[in-house]
Structure 1
């Protein structure tokens, strides 16, 4: 059942990383600026993140299976709208529909694991899910680059739409959510919303969300938006060559979450490791920004793909930072922060890229330095703002 749920998550990973391969053709067809391209890519993540609270309520009230089966058809509709669009605003609307449809894709996996696996296995099983779901990024490496180069970006959306239909059918046929022991009477929607208010009122929530908003966003902004243009414009790579690099980065990123999940440690040690990894992560982005060598850019990007696996520790930290009754909603809030962070980072990097171009400064230097700065700021917030109480870590 977890594997069936992972099919929707894998498709959401594919949809959120198409921008890196489609960017050149989209800019040519729709006469897009760098900022327009950032809005296109960020609209998926904004819709995805904005719907997390509602998807969390849906999962709590109606279950994992019904929530994902109800929402995911919107991703199929969005793929069709995107493939047929002849106007930039329609293209963005398609991305919004895809984002809403994919909104429960990862959350249903984490909540299912939290409810039906032992707490001690949460990080390791979540790491495997992140690794398996990352297969979706493989499709947006060399295979999608070949398809887009041989046909068009529209063909890419058609193929992803067909795959989304297959994923929806797999969940319909194979997922049967087990009953939870000691299940409580169903809450009303207003009561569920009040519980979210409780989460935001806790003093340690802010630091968790500020770092959560930049770690995944950094990787997806590079892999899903800027990697293709970086290799093509800075180093003269072809679309397929840049797709090969994207494929290699995606393969390496599959290894990171299971690897980091195996080495998870509870308590203060986990939080210290999270801060150290975030700072090392920032250093890799700074290296790509300022050192400007093809081999180093590729090596650093691959290391970023591997080190991004430490995000599974952030989920494990959320798992123990709140009372058991709030675990599902805490994960929904954290996931919301992650994907709103992706939307904000992709919009912001598109904006700074446009400003850099206007002043004759190399675009990628400013974009990647901005990402590095945001990672350092997020790590500082996580380290210095209030930490969870000991009662929640037991």
Structure 2
């Protein structure tokens, strides 16, 4: 193995390990950013190659930086508290909210679910005595479990659809059944986990008519922009940016600390070091073979990749290995979409959710997220994987 290969693999290892094992006061992004800088300084990756590596995630990261302030300013306006005050709860309130998050994720996209539903669910929990952390977790969990059935549901789907000329019917047929089963199984385990929580105190905020009048048009604009915008080539970050400008005018408050620069730096630097190391990872051998075992292997590689280097770079470095073998594409997409249910930084949506929740007073550590993922997401993931493999065997 060449010296360059050793350097690249060593820096990738250091970046990934540094995310999980680090002193308490050292931020998650410190090790990956340091590794990416060293990669360039020692000449193990050219500047042009690094720029090419960061080109695909630029738009998603721009959205990440603009969407968290959007949610925070809507909350500061009082919109989510007022909507929560109008929400009636009953014996099946959590099930209804679970179904809503699944529908928003599937038919709009996971970013809309995380940005708009996380603050709403936090306020609903506080008003009606639910555990805010558990209710806020619903959009995060369903951003993984329900984001595979349609091309629009996830950026990874759109990338694959563009590369292979796939349409709505392809995704609905190949990944729709797995998504549906995973949502149902996820709910069964979520319900069991949630029953252990003791009732919380309630907050009775009044309905602010002004907040509803000012906030509703912005939310409608955002929802339409996230859906119709794609059809007319208006990126999601531009929609979020326009909404931010309107909210700055309304709230007259801009706070730099509301912008999740650390989360963006983490995703960007991991993408750089992963791209540099990808030729030396031996991915080609992991994508060989056929049948059920080969599909499980591809899904496992994708899950591992998503949970170490983030699902977007994991997809981008794996797609060339799929080549013309489209039967391998579906377990790959399953892995990068469902896998982040286990690790917080496995997707940009997870980072977006964490920063949105934290700025609304709900702090969830990476370990707390993984515990929820293991208890609720893992059974859903394994069941969904069985369905994906079965679907592939039946159709191929």
The question of a shared fold, defined as TM-score above 0.5 by the shorter chain, is answered with no
Greater relative contact order, per chain length (Cα 8 Å cut-off, separation 6+): 1
TM norm structure 2 = 0.33
**Structure holding more helix per residue:** 1
Larger Rg: 2
